[in-house]
Amino acid sequence: MSIHNEDQSSKLFQSQTHILNQTFGFINSMCLKCAIDLCIPDVIHKYGKPMPLSQLIASLPIHPSKTCFISRLMQILVQSGFFSQHNVTDYNQEVSYVLTDASILLLKDHPFRMTCLLQVILDPVMFNPWFQFSTWFTNDDPTPFYTQNEMTLWDYASREPKFNHLFNDAMTNDTRLISSVVIEKCKGVFEGLESLVDVGGGTGTLAKAIANSFPHLNCIVFDLPHVVHDLQGTDNIKYVGGDMFETIPSADSIMFKTVMHNWNDEECLKILKRCKEAIENKDKGKVIIIDTVIGNVKGDSESEQTKLYYDMEMMVLVTGKQRNEKDWAKLFFSAGFNHYKITQVLGFKSLIEVYP
Ligand SMILES: C[S@@+](CC[C@H](N)C(=O)[O-])C[C@H]1O[C@@H](n2cnc3c(N)ncnc32)[C@H](O)[C@@H]1O
Ligand SMILES: O=c1cc(-c2ccc(O)cc2)oc2c(O)c(O)ccc12
């Protein structure tokens, strides 16, 4: 095939570059993981001022034969916005690095750090199922994760304590930020309630924050037995192990934070019907859902991309999906609920109150 003009060849080169950039996308994730494994954000933070490359190299736990590769790793991390580069004009022209808003959330001691979430998303247990994606389209397995492991993510976590801890820590990372915003912005949601069950509440990060702010509220953290079996409750927090498809403890309010997104419509309908049975006081009782509502805020293009990635992650690992308001409303009314109210909490996450 011959190329006839400038325009044609330039379009071909652009397409080739586009394909290569999309294919090499994993390099951004892997360089970020490498930087965290080597504690680069913490080392630069501890230095307290722009850190010259030679100082950075000297502070990292690397083999002397690898020192010459750090500047190349830093180059891509600067390009992807995790560090910014100061070109110092001293005699040896050495570059220095500082943190950016994004890398501040990668610091070990930051209360809203995202490192555990990132590590679990890139862990081989959650990453390898992607290699089964196309195979899964040709079989009747529930998820690519199932094709890879012959069991669900939840069964895998119950059998592998190391993965269970990694997963629960990752969810805790995400919940810390949301908890503080929910308690600040949505205080009214919890006022007047006497009891609350956090279903799929993990290790209880959100329930603990709510129980601290509302000491008269009796909270139950309900999750699979392998998640809660060794956790100690307090005066107003009790841990209960069980399966939400079988039974949900009774209370005024039943809460789900990033749980519904793990399940398909049929499964969510079953859970919501269980909630209707479990709500003790039908007058003031409600279901509280903290989850994504797609399309309720016009996001920037980066947020739009995140929602699509997140939806794919649910398809590959669990049977769930991200939902728009119409999808949520259909679920609530099909399960026999009467009305609902959506409050936008943070980014594309919302708090939905659903009334019987
Ligand atoms: C995505 S995590 C969310 C954890 C917590 N709500 C948070 O946001 O930090 C989903 C939780 O649902 C729990 N889960 C899965 N299947 C369950 C079931 N059948 N019954 C109760 N909990 C379940 C998992 O163990 C996990 O802790
Ligand atoms: O891989 C994930 C990521 C999440 C996730 C991402 C961002 C957030 O703000 C919250 C949660 O949640 C997941 C999840 O619930 C799951 O069951 C499997 C994987 C992931």
Q: Do residue 76 and residue 124 come from a single domain?
A: no
Question: Which CATH number fits the domain that encloses residue 140?
Answer: 3.40.50.150
Q: Do residue 78 and residue 153 come from a single domain?
A: no
Q: Looking at residues 271-290, what average pLDDT do you find?
A: 90
Atom number, ligand 1, closest to the C-alpha of residue 202 = 27
Atom number, ligand 2, closest to the C-alpha of residue 313 = 1
Asked whether residue 347 carries a pLDDT value surpassing 80, the answer given is: no
Question: Which CATH number fits the domain that encloses residue 85?
Answer: 1.10.10.10
**Is residue 192 within 8 Å of 286, Cβ to Cβ?**
no
Q: Do residue 229 and residue 323 come from a single domain?
A: yes
pLDDT at 6: 76
Please say which residue of 61, 85, 104 terminates a domain. 104
What is the number of the ligand closest to the CA of 248? 1
According to DSSP, residue 333 is labeled H
Q: Do residue 272 and residue 231 come from a single domain?
A: yes
Condensed to tens digits (0 to 9), the pLDDT of residues 136-189 reads 999 999 999 999 999 999 999 999 999 999 999 999 988 888 888 888 888 889
Asked whether residue 354 carries a pLDDT value surpassing 70, the answer given is: yes
ipTM: 0.96
Please say which residue of 104, 126, 159 terminates a domain. 104
Asked whether residue 3 carries a pLDDT value surpassing 80, the answer given is: no
**Is residue 80 within 8 Å of 31, Cβ to Cβ?**
yes
Q: Do residue 77 and residue 137 come from a single domain?
A: no
Q: How far apart are the first and last CA of the chain?
A: 66
Condensed to tens digits (0 to 9), the pLDDT of residues 30-80 reads 999 999 999 999 999 999 999 999 999 999 999 999 999 999 999 999 999
Please indicate, yes or no, if residue 1 is contained in any of the structural domains: no
pLDDT at 348: 75
Nearest 5°: phi and psi at 256? Answer: -135, 115
Asked whether residue 86 carries a pLDDT value surpassing 90, the answer given is: no
Please indicate, yes or no, if residue 237 is contained in any of the structural domains: yes
**Looking at the whole model, is its pTM more than 0.80?**
yes
The Cα 214–Cα 190 span in angstroms is 8
pLDDT band at 89 (very low <50, low <70, confident <90, very high): low
pLDDT at 327: 96
What residues flank ligand 2, with Cβ below 6 Å? 121, 174, 258, 262, 310, 313, 317-318
Q: In sequence order, what DSSP letters do the residues of 289-326 get, joined into one string?
A: EEEEEETSS---HHHHHHHHHHHHHHHHHSS---EEHH
Q: Looking at residues 193-219, what average pLDDT do you find?
A: 94
Residues belonging to the active site: 261
Q: Do residue 99 and residue 16 come from a single domain?
A: yes
Q: Which residue has the higher pLDDT, 263 or 187?
A: 263
Please say which residue of 50, 78, 104 terminates a domain. 104
What is the number of the ligand closest to the CA of 207? 1
**Is residue 177 within 8 Å of 112, Cβ to Cβ?**
yes
Asked whether residue 2 carries a pLDDT value surpassing 90, the answer given is: no
| 298 Cβ contact partners less than 8 Å away, ≥ 6 residues apart | none
Handedness of CA 274, 164, 104, 79 (dihedral sign): negative
What's the structural domain count of the chain? 2
Determine which residue's CA is closest to atom 9 belonging to ligand 1. Answer: 171
**Is residue 223 within 8 Å of 274, Cβ to Cβ?**
no
Asked whether residue 16 carries a pLDDT value surpassing 80, the answer given is: yes
Q: Do residue 230 and residue 309 come from a single domain?
A: yes
Q: Looking at residues 101-105, what average pLDDT do you find?
A: 95
Q: Do residue 350 and residue 251 come from a single domain?
A: yes
Positions of E strands within the chain:
51-52, 83-87, 95-99, 195-199, 218-223, 237-241, 253-257, 286-294, 323-324, 339-346, 349-355
Q: Do residue 154 and residue 94 come from a single domain?
A: no
Which range of residues forms the domain containing residue 27?
6-104
